[in-house]
Amino acid sequence: MSTQLRVAVISDIHGNLGALRAVLADIDARGRFDHVIVAGDHCLNGPDPDATLDLAMERGSVLLKGNTDRDIVEEGASDPEIGDKKRASIAWTREQLGTERIAVLDRLQFDTPVVAPDDTELLVVHANPLNLDDHIFPDMEDDQLEQLVGNAQASVLVFGHLHIPNHRSFRSLQLFNIASVGLPRDGDRRAVWGSFEWSTQEGWTGTIHRTAYDVADTVLRILESGMPHTERRIRDVVRATYD
C-alpha cells in the first residue's frame, strides 16, 4: 500500500496569468504531486483569460467549474442581479476565449474526490458541496455550516469562491479555503494555494501557502489588454480586499 499521497489545489485564478505561473513554479519547487486540482473561476476579470485557461488545462489533473465559469457560458443568465459591468466583462472574456474554450468551461465537472488508500476522502469543490454560489464564511455559525457541508462524506473539504483563505474544523471535517490565486481579498496580495498530504502515519494534513508574484506586471497587462473597467480591476489586484 502506498504510504503517501500529495495533492495541490488552486482556485480562483480569474485570468491572472502571472499569479498562476508563480503558483505553479512554487508547486514544482516543492516536489512531485500526485494531483494538481484547479477548483474553478479560471478566467473572468483578468487580462489573460485564454492563456490562463490553456495553462490550467495543461497543468491541472482536474478542472472544476466555478460560478464565473458558468456565467461565461450562460452570459450571466443565472445571476439575477447582474449589472452592466459584469455583462461587459463577460462579453469581453467570451471574445478572448472563443467558442472552443467556452465549450470547455461548459463541460467542467462540479467536484472531485481524492480517495486515500485507507478510504478516507479529500473532496474538492468550488464554493461548497451543494452549489456554485453560497459562500462558506470563516465565522459561519454551526447551523448554517451544517446546511452546506453536513452531508459531506469526506475527511477534508477544500474550496475557494470566498477569496479569504482560512482553515477550520467542523465536527470531524477539516475545511480549507485556498482562494485565491489571482484575486486575494484578505489584504495580502500574494497568491494563495493549498497542499494536502495523506500518510499512513498522520492521515490527511493540509497547508495553505502564499506565493509572491509580480503584481505590477499584472497591472500593466490589465492596461494593455483592452479589458473593460480597468480602474476597478487594478484596484482589486492592488488593494486585495473586498472594499
pLDDT digits (tens, 9 = 90+) for 148-174: 998 999 999 999 999 999 999 999 999
pLDDT digits (tens, 9 = 90+) for 179-231: 999 999 999 999 999 999 999 999 999 999 999 999 999 999 999 999 999 99
CA distances from 238 to 64, 182, 219 (A): 27, 11, 8
pLDDT digits (tens, 9 = 90+) for 103-144: 999 999 999 999 999 999 999 999 999 999 999 999 999 999
Given strand 121-125, what is the order of strands in its sheet?
Answer: 111-115, 121-125, 156-159, 173-177, 166-170
Model-level pTM? Answer: 0.96
CATH number of 4-239: 3.60.21.10
d(CA 181, CA 41): 10
Query: Is residue 149 a contact partner of residue 158, using CB atoms and an 8 Å limit?
Result: no
> What's the confidence (pLDDT) of residue 1?
47
**Domain residue ranges of the chain, discontinuous segments joined by +:** 4-239
Closest CA to 152 of 113, 206, 110, 116: 113
Closest CA to 161 of 197, 122, 128, 207: 128
On the CB side of 21, how many CA atoms lie within 13 Å of its CA? 11
Strand-pair category, 4-10 with 173-177: unpaired
Report percent pLDDT > 90 for the chain.
95
Q: How confident is the model at residue 2 (pLDDT cuts 50, 70, 90)?
A: low
Strand-pair category, 191-199 with 173-177: unpaired
pLDDT digits (tens, 9 = 90+) for 45-91: 999 999 999 999 999 999 999 999 999 999 999 888 889 999 999 99
